[in-house]
Structure 1
């Protein structure tokens, strides 16, 4: 029987989308000057967190010089700094920073993933690339199903990508599908009770402008954690 670790290993070797393969590998070769001494990951980035997570956070895609460099979701860029500080503030992460694999960070009861596992040009995967990656999220949800009780989706892209996967996995998604909004909350029925939450993405476009504040993010995470029994 496949495990989360098996899935993560398979994800990290995917080459299904030629444009994303070229971009992630070119970025890893050319690097950013400030990271010239780094050996970039340059591969699809698997999910991060325990295999028995009760709560799942769904982002968008790895950042070219963040997770594409470090090999761990939301690690090594300002979006990740914002997210992990909030997770630490509500007791779901062992430390408030995430700089590299092996830095000691551990998550408690929560796992982080994305609907697209490769860094896309301009942070914009195409609908076809999103759909090509859908099977990975579907499989991840299947493996987490025995323990999963809440899902937090960061941003409209992730929301739109996650809803059909949840429906295919057996949860009843309302029709018409609920629109994305910050602090949106939808209770789903299916193989297990599942609460779905929306949250603005932790992109610099949102955090630098104050559209998403640390308090706003912490409130959503705290509510989702409580719903999940964490």
Structure 2
């Protein structure tokens, strides 16, 4: 693999230079711009969870995954240490991903209900999954500087896909996304709108871009095991996202 960006300035340069989504997805895994995240993701790949001791961890930044023409973008916060950091695909290989992709299958966005490995045959239609931070962070808590350094990847991803709706998973992801969008030239109100399950927020960005943010409780086990987020609740958010994206498409055509 070729050498990748080693500083925030280089991240901004290579992200802006990516001519298409395939080029962006190719450069993301080469990034080494955040020393703390590089050290942690690689350490996890060596000190593996016992259940995965015979597997080779991805242990690199994780690109987005899904339909390149997606009208709906699902945004978390960062890859899970033993999920996407292991498999190399967003929300793949952990309980959170199981819950998310099962809902996508029920609502017609995915061809299958499971997501276990990058080569398991899963395909997504009209939806893509991504994150503001592409490396697994210690304690699932990236620093503000790390979020800012990684931001141009998401900014370029948005400009290439131009989704109509972004489903934002969790309060931490909501705040990280709003910060990233503001830094990438989007108009984000002050004070920042608060996260809530089912909250809808329309934002305007560079080049006349417009997107609706749709809040959803995170698909973490602490929410799904306790019933704070149920399958029906997640299905309803995804169905609402489809309706909003269809309405926006009709408006564009009209």
TM-score, length-scaled by structure 2: 0.85
Say if 2:199 is the partner of 1:184: yes
Give the C-alpha shift of residue 135 in structure 1: 1.2
The answer for unaligned runs of 5 or more in structure 2 is 1-17, 250-254
The answer for unaligned runs of 5 or more in structure 1 is none
Partner of 1:166: 181
Question: Per-residue CA shift, 1:66-113, capped at 9, x if unaligned?
Answer: 100100000000000000011111100110100001111000110100
- Measured in 2, the distance between the counterparts of 1:129 and 1:171 equals 19
Say if 2:30 is the partner of 1:36: no
Give the root-mean-square deviation of aligned CA atoms: 1.6
Higher helix share: 2
- Measured in 1, the distance between the counterparts of 2:179 and 2:139 equals 25
Say if 2:28 is the partner of 1:11: yes
Question: Per-residue CA shift, 1:22-50, capped at 9, x if unaligned?
Answer: 11111111211111111110100100012
Q: Are the counterparts in 2 of residues 116 and 125 from structure 1 also a CA contact under 8 Å?
A: yes
- Measured in 2, the distance between the counterparts of 1:199 and 1:161 equals 14
Q: Are the counterparts in 2 of residues 142 and 169 from structure 1 also a CA contact under 8 Å?
A: no
SS in 2 for 1:137: helix
Say if 2:223 is the partner of 1:206: yes
SS in 2 for 1:104: coil
The count of corresponding residues between Structure 1 and Structure 2 is: 228
Give the C-alpha shift of residue 52 in structure 1: 1.2
- Farther-moved stretch of structure 1 (155-164 vs 25-34): 155-164
Q: Are the counterparts in 2 of residues 115 and 133 from structure 1 also a CA contact under 8 Å?
A: yes
Say if 2:120 is the partner of 1:97: no
TM-score, length-scaled by structure 1: 0.94
List, as ranges, runs of 4+ consecutive aligned residues in structure 1 with deviation greater than 6 Å: none
- Measured in 2, the distance between the counterparts of 1:192 and 1:134 equals 17
Say if 2:70 is the partner of 1:53: yes
- Farther-moved stretch of structure 1 (203-212 vs 191-200): 191-200
